[in-house]
Amino acid sequence: MKLIVMRHGEAEQWANSDAERQLTLRGQKDNTQVLTALLARHSPSLLCASPFVRAQQTAQRCSEMCKLPIITSSLLVPDAPVHSTLDWLRDVLAEQQVVMLVAHMPLVGELLGWLLGAESELLGTSEVRVVNMDVVEYGCAMAEGRWIAVR
């Protein structure tokens, strides 16, 4: 099984709520650059994203490029309990071989850290990490690749 984890692109600093923050122009450009490189090597079979606006905008760009619908999950919001997200991910990966998540820090860092059996990872905006695993358990994943925007 392969898991592609992407942190949303750069977002505006202020909005009525954290959930409503939109991507900046820089965030949009970075997303396109990173997704172009990523999708040249990997083809997700399922695309899942946080309901927050900036993650939905990031996932929408990916959806346009890889022709997949977006599955929205509240288990991908920034403060989602990582073990609840992992339980959900076990079910998802049982059905799909290559799953892409678009979410937020600290969740993406905690998720990757747990899968890799390490400390929480730090991902920049528009950063993508790809890991391979046979099962969804602590320390079971092997890092395969990392993509970041070049500015």
Containing 145, the helix (H) or strand (E) segment is strand 142-147
Buried b (16+ CB within 10 A) or exposed e, 123-140: bebbbbbbbebeebeeeb
Instruction: Supply the pTM of this predicted model.
Output: 0.97
Alpha-helical runs (H) found in 23-137: 25-39, 53-66, 82-95, 107-116
| pLDDT for the residue 8 | 98
Q: Encoding tokens for residue 113?
A: 């850290």
Residue 144 CA to residue 151 CA, distance in Å, equals: 23
Instruction: For residue range 31-68, list pLDDT tens digits in order.
Output: 999 999 999 999 999 999 999 999 999 999 999 999 99
| pLDDT for the residue 25 | 98
Q: Domains plus CATH for the chain? A: 2-147 (3.40.50.1240)
Using 70 as the pLDDT threshold, list the residues of the chain that sit under it. Answer: none
| pLDDT for the residue 151 | 77
Tell me the DSSP string of 9-35.
Answer: PPB-S--SSGGGPPBPHHHHHHHHHHH
| pLDDT for the residue 18 | 97
